[in-house]
Structure formats: structure tokens, C-alpha cells
Structure 1
Amino acid sequence: MGDPARTEPALVVVREPHLFRQRALRVLTLALALVLTVSGTAVLVTEDHLLLPFQRLTTLEGRLASKVESLEDGQVTRILLKHGIRVHTISSGSREVATGRLAGYDFAFPSGAPAGYLITSTRQKQSRYSKTYHPFDSPLVLATYRAYAETLQAAGVARPQTGSGAGEPLYYSLDMNRFLALTEHNRRWNDLGIRRYGLSNDDVVLAQTSDICLSNSAGTYLGLVAFTRNNNDVPTSTQQADKLAAQLKPLLIRQGSPGVDLFPYYASPQGRQLAPVVVVYEHQFLAYQAHYRATHRTVDTERVLLYPTARTLTQPQFIALNRRADPLGELLEHDPELQRREAELGYHVLGADTLTRHLQQQGVPVPQAPRDETSARMPDQTLLERMITTVKNCPAPATN
């Protein structure tokens, strides 16, 4: 048998230090967690996301068109998160949004009223919810390069806007009737003497559009051309619409490109060859110039805009497909932070002069409305759809 005086102290020495280490480790772990929580909260405060991890977020699914940056821009995302809203989006052309399936989506955001009308009228017939918001506008324009604009100016088709740039104007007024006549008579850029401005191009003079089956800008351009060719009047009958569409089909059918947004091609270094004149939205050009000015300390004087004298204002429509999306529509229309950011992205914010102030602050010339400008009205949506189908046999709309 062993001696108790030798074995009992050994048991005491082994247990007590082990318990002490466990308790100390727990205290240290709790203290470290508290430090991380406090420091993490401090980071959230400094980044304007106070308590976002503990805030309930509403996630909305949406389909939108060329106004994708209005919701996917980083600053817009941060503003929406502060209001407890996060969006997931799928992008496509406006008409594709309007004629495609919207089941499972909370909102749709086409780039203009025609596509918006397709959505709301279909849902009204089906007794389904929809509510429309109009956060901003953007005119339809033709983007080109200085050599092409100066060629059109020499031909009496375009003229510089006053005050649109010292010596090298960024903006020109375009006589749409004369411009369309060049296409109808197969006049080529070389015929107009573009070689005098350092380029050679034997293509027919025309404005390239995106696919009319997919894109709001292409459908709106069709409406503008129809208005111009109908003596600055909108077609109001089926007979008028059919006659105009048949006349315009040879003019427009060769202009459609497979994409839904031509501006990236225009802004690329190869743009002069890929897309010398393209139908785009004003906001794309203004945002490009503001970014270029901030990066290079000067505007891009080689890229310019042609404003048709028959002005066409596109009205993007945010359409809530259920009541969960209504708060986002209200924010887009009324939140001062979002309105300021929308102006920075080139949009005309409704009821405000924010865009003009932004361009002046950025050192970008402000476009001026021509004195002889008229407002081109779009045909009734049913007639416009009929004309689009005549120009190009587009797929039938889906049931939204």
C-alpha cells in the first residue's frame, strides 16, 4: 500500500491550475468579442451603415432596361441600404422587359412610356397590381463624332448650339427631315465630303439603332421618324400608321443592331468604325463627359451630340408590381440624396434644376433647347406596336 502523504498533494496540484486556465480563457474570449463588436459598430457608423447587420432588409427583385445604373450604381446602393432596401436586377431591353414574363418580380423599370404602358395595360386587364412612378427624364439624341457633325454642318443638316463649348461645340441641332433625306437617297459620307475632316467612310448616312424588338430607344426613334415624315404630326389612324410604317421600313430595317445598348460601342476606341452615329439617351453622354472631365481635366471634344429639332423626351417608368416595391418607387421620386445622384448620372430630375447645377460644377457645357424646337409626340401605343411589327416581325408578347 502507498503512503497517503505522498499521493494526495499530487491530485490537488493537477486540478486547480486547469480550472483557472479555463475560466481565464472564457473571460478573454468574451472581452475580445466585446472589442470586435464595438469596433465593428464604429466601422458601420463611419460608412453610414449604422446597425445595418441588425436592420431588417427588404430584398426586391426587378427587371430593368438601359437605366440599369440608376439602381446598380454603388452610391445608389448605399443610399437604398440606409432605407432598408436591397435590389437584385436582371437587365434587358425595355420592350423585352415589357413583353417578357414578370412572374416572380417585384418591379419593372422600362426606359420609356411605351414599354411601361404595355406592362400596366396588361396587368390592368388581368386585375393585377401595378403602380407607376416617374423619377426622371432623358431626351433621345444622336451621338456622333466631330468629323461627322462638321460634315453635316457643311451640308446644311446640322448647326452648333450657341454656348455649347468655346470653339469646339459639344452639341448640335439636327434637321431631321434633311437628315432622313440623306438616307432615303442613299447619300454616303464620302459624298458629303467627310474626307475634308480627316476620315473616309463610304457607308450610307444613317443613325444606328438597337434592335427594335427589344429596345425602347429604337421604338421611340421609329416614332420620331414617323412624326417627322408625317409633317410633324403624330399618326392617329390605322391607315396612317400602316402607310408610314411601309414607307419607313426600308429606312429603318437596316439600322437595327443586335444589342440593346449601343453607347458602350460608341464610347469605345473603335467607335468611329463601329458606330459613327447612334441613337442613345442624353444621360449616357452627359455622365460620360462628366466622368471624362473629372479624369482628364477636359471634356472629350471629339464626341458630340446631335439634338433632333423635333425633341423626343423619354420618361423611364418604375412600375411596382406589388406593394412591397412601393417604398422604392417613393424613394426614387422624392429622396433628395437619390435625386442628387440621379442628376450626377445625367438625368433630368423632375421639378428640379439639379442637372444644370451639376454640369456647371463639373465644368461640362450645358445643352440648350433650340429656339425652333418642337415636341415630337409618340403614336398611340397600339399604333406604335403595329408599326414596330410592320418594320420587323417581332415575337408576340408573353403573358406577364
Structure 2
Amino acid sequence: MAVDTVREEQAMRRLTDSLLEDYSETHSAEEIHGVLAAVRKRFEGHPVREFVPILVERIVHRELAPPAQGSVIEEAAAAVEQSNAVSRADRRRAARAGFAINRRTVSLAGAVVVVAVAVVAVALVARQPDPAPAAGPVVPALTVVRGVVGSEKMSFFEDSRVIDALAKHGLKVSAEPAGSRQIATSVDLGKYDFAFPSSSPAAERIQRARNINTKYTPFSSPMAIATFQPIADLLTAARVLQPGPVPTFDVARYLELVNTNTEWAHLPGNTVYPVRKNILVSTTDPRTSNSAAMYAAIASFVANDRAVVQGDPAEQAVLPTLQRLFAGQGYTENSTQGPFQEYLAAGMGPSPLVLIYEAQFVEAAAQGKIQPGMVLTYPSPTVLSRHTLVPLGGSGDQLGRLLSSDPELQRLAAEHGFRTGDAAQFAKVTAEHRVPVQTDLIDVVDTPTYDTLEHLLDAVAKSYN
């Protein structure tokens, strides 16, 4: 990045902080950011950048709090006043000339005056109702789309490239994170334009409660288990992990160890992790989080003789296993972001096995956060978590359509580890960052109906008490 560009970005960050402080009582942060972005865009393509922050500041101040009087000459003089390299005599000559640029050789100070005045003239032309071609198109104010999303998607919506791609379509997303089951059951959705939980059962609950038929599934991610090579070696010896280019985690064998309260220290030859605690996969809280609900779907399918649980007898039969899987963990967090960050930062000590979305591991690899010895495995069977957007208003519907169809947004979703309708994009990301993933997901099972899953999770929740 050029030095001038670095200085400009630093100045713009300071300006943003100042504007947010000055106008916090009269304008929302979204409105201030929108005006600032629109004004700055008027100066795109102009090679001289020294005075851009100054000019942007003055125009934004005027648009947020219009002064009673003002003129082109005053604005130019105020901008030039910021530069110590320009003499007062040169500024008076520029003002008297009405911005005409003399082609004779000028001093360095005079040249700076001419540049500053020319930039002001361009900015003023860009503000006219019918702008000249050189000024570029007038940027419309962005429509703010408010939504509540599963935490694993926050980095996607906070990506500056995603923000810019949405802005091209006139949208600015204001997203708040929450556990997917929270979104479906306890979050007040009345103040949002869309809800974006991480599974179709949670979305179904929202649709049913609000009588909404429309939904969008722009991307998906299978459930996976993150572990470490020493743990993988132990579980391979215990016949839980099946080795291969992409290791698989045998859920049936794992449940055998869980149901007999097998501890890590009980595993033969275990010298790398001889801990006196039960072998359990760390998950999120099943009372709030979608990933824990997906884990319950996998475990209940296996415990029910590899059949989707349906009906009260089947529910009662699998409940003891589910309660042991969850209650034995102790404290659990509301969303997958917490346990996965602990996995990345703390190593295998606290949580040698962590249930995650595949997308989290792929995204972390793309960001250089996966260290040697970190291993991605897939439960066998697994479930595909379909991230489903439910529009609650008109702008939410537009966002759902864009995320599902816009090639640029689909490409960026793949870079954040999600599988989209374009399998080639996901394959390109995983190949580039050398992430071994299951290309063809074969051993994938369906989740129970929303009502059955709720019965199971409610029963598990009671075991916490």
C-alpha cells in the first residue's frame, strides 16, 4: 500500500471516530457510516489524495448539519488552509481566479493550491443533481438490513469484501450473533429484517411461528470434529477413528465407550493424555445452540439402530445416551465460536475433541490459524447443517436472494469455509490452503422433525437440573 494511501486511511479512521462522537445524539452510526462512504466514493479515481480527508470531512459535516451560509470559495480556502506548504497570497490568487488553472510554471505552493481547488471543484460537481461524467454516479444511501445470525457467520458479514459487495446492491447488513436455537425460541425477532440460524429445523420453527413460507439456503456445512494428532492416534488404536486421507469418527464405537463411562486414562498405552475424565466430545449448550442439536441428531440416529428417531418410544429409548453425552460435559457455551476459539488457542488440554462446523476449520486454515498437529475428522454418520435465512421484511428477502445467487457473494462464502451451490469454489479454497476435506459427503443422515428434536432437547435440558 502506498504511503499516501496509508496516511489517507489513518486520517479516515480518525475522521470516522470524530464524526461518530460529534453526531451520536442526532444520527445513528449506520447513517453516519453511510454518508461518509457515499461522500468518499465521489473522490474515487482522483490521483491526488492529500486533501481528500479534509474535503470529505467538510462535505460530511455540511450534509449532517448544513450551515446557513457557505460558498465554493470558502470551502476551497478552508481546505487549502490545512496545508502549511501554501502561501496566503497564492490562496487569494486562486480564489480571485475562480479556480481557473494557469498553464504557466507555478511555484510548489501555487501548485498545491491549484490541486486543492481542482479537487474541491470536482467534489462540488459530483454533488449536482445531474453530475458530469467525470464525477461518477451518485451513490444512493444504503438500506440497513438488521438481522440475527448464528455466530459462525459473523466473520462473513464483517468481511470488508462482503460489505462492499452488498453495498453495490444498496444494502448494509447490521448483524447480531446468537445461538440458533435461541434465535428460534427466545430472541425477539420483531426488530429484525431477517433471521439466519444454522439449520433448517430452527428455520422451520421461525417460519411456523411467524407464518412465513419463504426461506433461502445460500450455503451449508457438515458437522465435524476437531482434534489433535496425539488424540487421533489414541482413538485410532481404540477403533474410534478410522484412518485415511480424511479420518472418520465412528460414532457407534464412540457411544460404546460413552455408555461404559470409559475415561481417557483407561485407554491402553495412553501416555500422551492420561486424564481421569470421561471420553466425551465437547459441544455447545443444547438448550440454545444449533450445533448441539445437530450432535443430538447424529447420536440419536446411531442409538436408534441407525434410524431417524420418530415417536415417543424411540425418544425414550435414546434419551439416556443423549443425557450422558451432554450432562457429563459440565459447563457449555451458547455458540460454536467459543469452544472452537479455545481449541485454537488452548490446545488439547481442556478439550481434546470439539464438535464444530466444517466451515470453521476451513476458514481458520485460510486465515493461517491451523497449526501442525491439528486434525479435522468427520463423524460417521454426520449431518449437513443447512444455514437457512428467513426473511422477516422486504430488505431481508432481497438479502436472501443476493446471498443465494450473486457470484461474488457465493465466492466469498466459500472463502469463509461454506459449501455453496458452486462446488468448484469450495474445492478451490480447500486445495489452495491444503485442507483435507470430504469432497463427496456420503454418510449423511437426516435430522428428526423439529418437534421430535425439541422433545429430545427439552428432556436433555432437564437433566442439567
The TM-score range, normalised by the shorter chain, is: 0.7 to 0.9
Aligned equivalents of 2:362, 2:136: Cα separation in 1: 36
| Count of residues in correspondence between the two structures | 347
Work out whether residues 259 and 321 of structure 2, in 8 Å CA contact, stay in contact via their aligned partners in 1: no
2:454 to 385, 390, 395: 385
Asked if the contact 1:157–1:175 (Cα under 8 Å) also holds between the matched residues in 2, the reply is yes
Match of residue 48 from structure 2: none
Q: Which residue is 1:160 aligned to?
A: 243
What per-residue deviation string (whole Å, max 9, x for no partner) do you get for residues 37-78 of structure 1?
Answer: 648999xxxxxxx96873231111100012222322221111
Task: Write the mapping of 1:109-124 to structure 2, written as runs, cut at 5 A.
Answer: 109-124=196-211
The answer as to whether partners of 1:62 and 1:107 remain within 8 angstroms in 2 is: yes
State the shift of 1:23 in Å.
Answer: 9.8
Matched residue, 1:35:
119
Partner of 1:275: 351
What SS is found at the alignment partner of 1:141? Answer: strand
Tell me by how many angstroms 1:350 deviates: 1.9
Distance 1:40 1:330, change over 3 A: farther
1:218 aligned residue: 292
Larger RCO of the pair (alpha carbons < 8 Å, separation 6+): 1
Deviations 1:294-314 (A, max 9, x none): x8xxx6331112211112110
In structure 1, list runs of 5 or more residues that go unmatched.
Answer: 1-19, 43-49, 165-170, 395-400
Which residue is equivalent to 2:145?
60
Determine the C-alpha separation between the residues in 2 that align with 1:374 and 1:185.
Answer: 26
Q: Counterpart in 1 of 2:395?
A: 324
Cα pair 1:209 1:257 within 8 Å, conserved: yes
Q: 1:34 to 1:245 in 2, by over 3 A?
A: farther
Written as runs of structure 1 = structure 2, the 5 A alignment for 1:334-345 is: 334-345=405-416
Aligned pairs (5 A) from 1:45-194: 54-65=139-150, 66-99=152-185, 100-124=187-211, 129=212, 131-161=214-244, 164=245, 171-193=246-268
Percent of aligned positions that are identical: 31
Distance 2:296 2:424 in 1: 30
What secondary structure is seen at the aligned counterpart in 2 of 1:210?
Answer: coil
* SS of alignment partner, residue 227 of structure 2: strand
Q: In 2, distance between residues paired with 1:37 and 1:250?
A: 72
Tell me how far 1:368 sits from its aligned partner.
Answer: 4.5
Instruction: Say if 1:194 and 1:201, in contact at 8 Å, map to a contact too.
Output: no
Q: Secondary structure at the match of 2:367?
A: helix
What is the TM-score when the length of structure 2 is the normalising length? 0.69
Q: Secondary structure at the match of 1:283?
A: helix
Distance in 1 (CA, whole Å) between partners of 2:433 and 2:125 is: 35
Kept in 2, the 8 Å contact 1:183–1:204? The answer is: yes
Aligned counterparts of 2:424 and 2:451: Cα–Cα separation in 1:
34
Query: Equivalents in 1 of 2:125, 2:427: separation in Å?
Result: 38
CA distance in 2, matches of 1:37, 1:274: 62
Task: Tell me the amino acid that sits aligned with residue 200 of structure 2.
Answer: A
Instruction: Describe the shift of the 1:52–1:80 C-alpha distance in structure 2 as closer, same or farther (beyond 3 A).
Output: farther
Q: Report deviation, 1:193.
A: 4.0
* 1:61 partner amino acid: R
1:90 is paired with a residue whose SS is: strand
Which residue of structure 1 lines up, in the alignment, with residue 428 of structure 2? Answer: 357
State the 1:335 CA deviation.
0.8
Would you say the 8 A contact 1:209–1:278 is kept in 2?
yes
When residues 274 and 39 of structure 1 are mapped into structure 2, their CA distance, relative to the original with a 3 A threshold, is farther
How far the C-alpha of 1:117 sits from its partner, in A, is 0.9
Instruction: For 2:462 and 2:444, locate their aligned partners in 1 and report how far apart those are by CA, in whole Å.
Output: 29
Structure 2 contact 198–386 (Cα < 8 Å) conserved:
yes
- When residues 222 and 35 of structure 1 are mapped into structure 2, their CA distance, relative to the original with a 3 A threshold, is same
The SS at the match of 1:264 is helix
TM-score, normalised to structure 1's length? 0.79
**Matched-pair contact (CA < 8 Å) for 1:311–1:376:** yes
Name which of structure 1's ranges 148-157 and 53-62 shifts more when overlaid on structure 2: 53-62
Determine the structure 1 residue equivalent to 2:55. none
SS of equivalent to 1:63:
strand
Superposition deviation, residue 247 in structure 1: 4.3
Deviation digits for residues 177-224 of structure 1 (CA, Å, limit 9, x no counterpart): 11111122111112114644x333222101011111110000110111
The equivalences for 1:289-304 within 5 A come to: 289-292=365-368, 300-304=371-375
Distance 1:333 1:185, change over 3 A: same
CA contact (8 A) 1:245 1:390 kept: yes
